[in-house]
Structure 1
Amino acid sequence: MLHSDQSADPPRQYRLVAAQIRALIDMDRIRPGARLPPEREMAQQFGVSRQVVREALVALEFEGEVEIRASSGAYVCGVDKGNAVQPRLGRSPAELIQARVVLERAIITLAASRVSQPGLLRVGAALQGMREDLDRGRPPLAADRQFHLSIAEMGGCDALIGVVATLFDRFHSAIPSRHVCDEGLTSWRAALIEHEAIFQALKARDPITADAALCSHLLAARNRSTGLS
């Protein structure tokens, strides 16, 4: 039985699990097309939490090693090892969200203390764009991105706007498109409510509530990105 090193830094444990699953695939102990064991079973096998297993599977799908099917599980892809994508485990959605939490918490605290009417109008316009996209039945990704960039702009963090944009783009590119399609617009509607809470806290010039609302949103986004059953 394989085990993950329990002493490993928790955000990195998924890498160890992903490497062990990949090794089993490479040794043909799990054949192409085969369904991987249930999440709970793998968590017990590797001695980690189910959340770590979820993150490992998301990373492996991003590499093209497995395919995650909603309400069905994860299946080994028929990958041509000679043309396999190079590992990108350093770009796990969980790690990217962790970076966003650190950066955007500092930004929103500044923004809440520097609220201006033009700044609120820009953030509000992005929020309205999210509503309109959802009303049309389409994911409001561009408006979501503009919402976060507008907050950085209002906080006077011009030098960090590019970093916010890069982390946002990498986070969403690290989520396999099937997850977005399978979830439909339900998750986006939940995200809209979270964005509205952030906006209301900014309007109230309340940095503590704004920080809490932002953290709640980013952690919810993290859970949605790795929320396999």
Structure 2
Amino acid sequence: MLAKAPETRRLYLQIADKVRALLAQPDFAPGGRLPAERALAEQLGVSRPSVREALVVLELEGLVEIRQGSGVYVCAPAHRDAAAAPAELGELGDSLIDIMNARAVLEGAIAASVAPFCTARSLKGLRAIYETMAREAHAGHIPIATDRAFHVAIAQMTGNEVLVRTVENYYDARHAPLPAKLFGHFENTHTWLTALVEHQAILEALEAHDPIQAQAAMQRHLRLSLERCAAHT
């Protein structure tokens, strides 16, 4: 007997299918509140962050509404009819969990590799980017472009264009529908001021030419970025 082929669809899509089936039950009337993420995760046998991603998929489809500090609610049929169907959503993007974990591995290794050798000129440029980011964050702006420039500048210190393109591609993956919606639920002035402190730690470790601290600071920043997203959805 042939073994069953493994599921190749992204995990968040598999979980979204299961939650969508739950919503079809009579217990979930429009306006009703879904069980807490912890309960859904236990019921489905998956992690809470993965449940969170699946709920955002359903939000993009117009099936649920995620209300900060309140919970997740079933949308009325009129709202569902006006929303995009799953097939119309196109490519939702990779799991934000996978993206941020991959970035932590790659960018942490890059930070460690360049720390002993980065030049005064490259560090001066990186500090200028950081100071621009600080001004933008303190002015209440979301410094996405400057944040991207900061991470790419560190990759450019390697002199390896493949690594630079990879860092750019990983960063730009945040603009796909699923990651963008997740970021949209938590990014605000407070979170960016917190992230600014983490960027300062990365910069200072590089200025000290300390590979261990540079890697640790980069990985800590990316881990905390994911945790902030997880905590606010």
The amino acid of 1:191's aligned partner reads A
Structure 2 counterpart of 1:226 = 230
Larger radius of gyration: 2
Task: Provide the C-alpha distance between the structure 2 equivalents of 1:94 and 1:61, rounded to a whole number of angstroms.
Answer: 18
State the Cα distance separating 1:87 from its structure 2 match: 6.2
Is 2:198 the partner of 1:189? no
Identity of aligned residues (%): 41
Q: Verify the 8 A CA contact 2:105 2:219 in the aligned structure 1.
A: no
Whole-angstrom CA distance in 2 between matches of 1:32 and 1:87: 26
Q: Aligned letter for 1:169?
A: D
Name which of structure 1's ranges 55-64 and 98-107 shifts more when overlaid on structure 2: 55-64
Is structure 2 residue 180 aligned with structure 1 residue 175?
yes
Distance 1:95 1:28, change over 3 A: farther
- Structure-2 separation of matches of 1:95 and 1:208: 23
Other-structure match for 2:137 = 134
Structure 1: which 5+ residue stretches go unaligned?
1-7
2:158 aligned to 155, 158, 164, which one? 155
Aligned partner of 2:213: which letter? T
Is the contact between residue 100 and residue 164 of structure 1 (CA under 8 Å) also seen in structure 2? yes
Distance 1:127 1:82, change over 3 A: closer
SS of the aligned residue for 1:91 comes to coil
Q: Let me know the Cα RMSD of the aligned residues.
A: 2.8
CA distances 1:175-211 after superposition (whole Å, capped 9, x unpaired): 326414xx52111111101100000110011111111
Match of 1:19 in 2: 17
Q: How does 1:8-47 map to 2 (within 5 A)?
A: 14-25=12-23, 30-47=28-45
Deviation, 1:18, is: 2.2
What secondary structure sits across from 1:42 in the alignment?
helix
Superposition TM-score, scaled by structure 2 size: 0.80
Aligned residue pairs total 219
Contact 1:123 1:150 in 2 (8 A): yes
Q: Distance in 2 between matches of 1:100 and 1:114?
A: 21
Q: Does 1:121 pair with 2:124?
A: yes
1:166 maps to 169
TM value normalised by structure 1: 0.82
CA–CA separation in structure 1 for the residues paired with 2:193 and 2:47:
28
- CA contact 2:185–2:232 (8 Å) conserved in 1: no
Quick check: 2:62–2:84 contact (8 Å CA) kept in 1? no
Q: Does 1:79 align with 2:80?
A: yes
Q: What letter is aligned with 1:225?
A: C
SS in 1 for 2:80: coil
